[in-house]
A = this chain, B = another copy of it.
Amino acid sequence: MSYNSFGHLFRVMTWGESHGPAIGCVIDGCPSRIALKATDIQSDLDKRRPGTSRFTTQRQEPDQVRILSGVFQDDTMKQQLTTGTPISLIIDNVDQRSKDYSEIRETYRPGHADFTYDKKYGIRDYRGGGRSSARETAMRVAAGAVAKKIVAGLNVRGALVQIGDMKIDRSRWDWKEVDQNPFFCPDPVMAENWENYLDRIRKSGSSIGAIIEIIAENVPVGIGAPVYAKLDQELASALMSINAVKGVEIGRGLDAASLSGEENADQIRMGADGEPIFLSNNAGGILGGISSGQSIVANLALKPTSSIRLPGRSLDIEGNEVEVVTTGRHDPCVGIRAVPIAEAMLAIVLLDHVLRDRGQNALPRKAGTRPM
């Protein structure tokens, strides 16, 4: 049991506060002999890094990751490999500007974890939100980058599909567009609309929510497990652990409530290559908690950040009624930078289940799929 770890065979523990000297994570259970160097991780981190556009926080953090353990290379080896021992990753905090936060020491921002941390622990590192800061999520991205290197062929990606009530047009979905705008938006028309929309919100001192869709392709059949290790359950857990997430959907999600049994059940035909073909994917690639071989599809909804420049009614730490304005640097839409975070969580959940499945079932399955 751990408050700051997730995964089972591939297990990640993160540590660090927004304004401490550094943040980091330790990955336990990584298979050995995986080629891994810091630059493999850095490219994913750069996608999440703050300050890359005017639509994210202006905090300047290079987020340079270092690998402190768990890899090895000597002059007989062509590349650096994992050794099977814990991989410790660290990122120094650089641009902290702690003075920005001195006034929230005395007050609780509405909608923020300030209040509950103080109630729970009787103490709170208020600088930049301390442990509750989304800065922690950098380490998820780092761990996810490691996870992605392990399962051959697995392809995990995500996109922002809604900001506020402005949804993309799915008929315009183009994965190549995702890297062409500051929103990870697959719809180039909507990306332009969002630009104007977010500029207005940003200048007004407000913030706005968003919805992300993540997809994993080439997922092995048979990973996940009943009953309390369902693949959708563990994915829901991983996604709901991301700061600001308030809703998670697998496949058709909430809409499945409105469907009839015959509309919902994904029918199957046999493909020319002897592999089953599903005629739809309402299940999001998971049946009974186990992967079917279809793409895993999930959506997650993020609330707007509660750190805004507009005044809100709240209490101070003595219980006096006050009005709170947050003047630090914040993302007007935390959903944007959550795209690579959600991808990382999906990759880790899948890898963890691949390893668990190898442990329990790899051999029996190889022995044949019909009873003796």
When distances are taken between beta carbons in the complex, the residues of chain B under 8 Å from A6 are: 228
Closest chain-B Cβ to A69's Cβ sits at a distance in Å of 5
Point out which of A31, A116, A253 has the most chain B C-beta atoms below 10 A from its C-beta: A116
A3-26 Cβ-contact flags toward B at 8 Å (1 or 0): 111101101011111001111101
Closest CB of chain B to A357's CB: distance in Å? Answer: 7
A360 engages B279 (CB within 8 Å): no
A333-361, CB under 8 A of B: which get 1 and which 0?
A: 00100000000000000000001111111
A64 on the interface (CB 8 Å rule)? no
A272 near B: Cβ within 8 Å?
A: no
**A296 CB–B CB distance under 8 Å:** no
Question: Which residues of B sit under 8 angstroms from A119, Cβ to Cβ?
Answer: 221-222, 290, 292-293, 365, 369
Contact B290 A113 (CB under 8 A): yes
Q: Is A313 an interface residue (CB 8 A)?
A: yes
Q: Are B252 and A83 in contact (CB under 8 A)?
A: no
| A370 contacts B by Cβ under 8 Å | yes
Among A39-47, A183-191, A202-210, the stretch that binds chain B is A202-210
A78-B372, A120-B224 are known; give 8 further A-B pairs, CB within 8 A.
A3-B226, A4-B85, A17-B85, A122-B370, A207-B260, A255-B301, A269-B321, A270-B319
